[in-house]
Structure 1
């Protein structure tokens, strides 16, 4: 299997698969592929307990099924996933001892052997994150995953006990060794007049974190004042 990340601000993840090789992805990520790629729907990835694992994904706002792409005979197969907004596609290696925690829309594709589950879910008011709430996915198992992060990416390595306070929308991905807790913006005046929201996420090392500069819910919230208002007849 060969994976190439092409482009700059709107990258494309391109796979060249030999017969018998496979890729798993969430629904709706396919951009283009060669005719010798066979698609199928599955609730099972990496030995996850099929239906129960799918129901956990549904509880976090994901899909019950995932799409599996298998390269069949006829030479090398081509499979591509295009990014949905300006940003980066980051490959990460997942091992049993190093699970990864990823933002809700981050998991783009992975090799078989990786399981996906909801790591954390919190509901905010409708004005935050487009009413979606704050959801983190957990990637377990063994294999390689490709994560889509929006805008520019800032990686940091936190030492034991070292902490970073992050607006929830800017969390892209972090190693499961990093502890995360929800907290509020300090100070009553900051909460009421600061305009930065009420909640922050405290990330505490050791481990590596990847922060994204332009999360999609924040972008949508910023554009909302410039969108035409809907009327009763629209």
Structure 2
């Protein structure tokens, strides 16, 4: 039988379409009549988990927000909305690589090989760009293999289908995984000011094609196309990715009152075209700073000026 919502083939007797999650009608004899929701109440997530004792539990799969094919024949789909994951179907004998600890799940026929790519020099480069010293190669044997990589932070997974020689500059620690033909290197900011105050330090990541690579960016992503000499001023940390034709620098915020009361710090990052830039709405560092405001410190606890979490769980 086929799903009436998306037309995908579904197993007879299934209660949900595994492709789009649509709830399917079931034969009367296979289960008691469905409970009627209270007047004015539409069916909710409670209906998804209403399986009765002994019944098969069929949970709807997360939405697929993107899919495609790589140069090696690799197929991928990006699933989820807030905490996304990318699932790769890799042809036998083909290889994808990621940083150490990046893999979330894989089929049994996938072989792992951990190595220090590029020797000691390559390991130090990756360390400075926010990646692990060791990289892991994944190669299916005897048939296609399934490998899943999950994002570490709420945001978006972006597929980069790079042409031969095409380069993309990303924030450090953005790299997730890529086809073996992709080159992962560091991008060194030549200008001292941009490295010290630009929000990402001296080192960013450089991905060079050909091949398919995946990066994870924080929050929602906004794209701008800058014309030659057109400039965009950005609060530090919001620069997620840009083309190598774009010049990145920093400038000091003007005006004494702006510096003292504006809340934007001393410096702003400047992006000068031509080229495209991608900005992120929720940098991990900004979220960490916000959470840190509510964490007790040892000094405040000892002086009695803060909340001692231990006292919440003990009685005097």
Length, aligned pairs only: 224
Matching residue within 76, 99, 113 for 2:144:
76
Contact 2:166–2:210 (CA<8 Å) still a contact in 1?
Answer: no
Distance 1:107 1:174, change over 3 A: same
TM-score by length of 2: 0.65
| Secondary structure of the structure 1 residue equivalent to 2:103 | coil
Gaps of 5+ in 1: none
Q: How do 1:131-170 residues align onto structure 2 when only pairs under 5 Å count?
A: 133=201, 135-170=203-238
Q: What is the CA distance between 1:10 and its match in structure 2?
A: 1.2
Give the structure with the larger strand fraction: 1
RMSD value over aligned CA atoms? 2.3
Structure-2 separation of matches of 1:94 and 1:168? 27
Higher relative contact order (CA 8 A, sep 6+): 1
Q: Which of the two has higher C-alpha Rg?
A: 2
Query: Are 1:32 and 2:105 matched, yes or no?
Result: yes
| Secondary structure of the structure 2 residue equivalent to 1:110 | strand
Structure-1 separation of matches of 2:233 and 2:268? 6
Q: What is the CA distance between 1:134 and its match in structure 2?
A: 6.2
CA deviation string 1:173-232 (max 9, x = no partner): 111111111222222332232221222221111111111101111100011111122368
TM-score by length of 1: 0.86
Matching residue within 89, 92, 100 for 2:168:
100
CA deviation string 1:130-155 (max 9, x = no partner): xx846421112421111101111101
Matching residue within 183, 193, 196 for 1:115:
183
Gaps of 5+ in 2: 1-73, 190-194, 303-307, 311-316
Matching residue within 63, 81, 103 for 1:8:
81
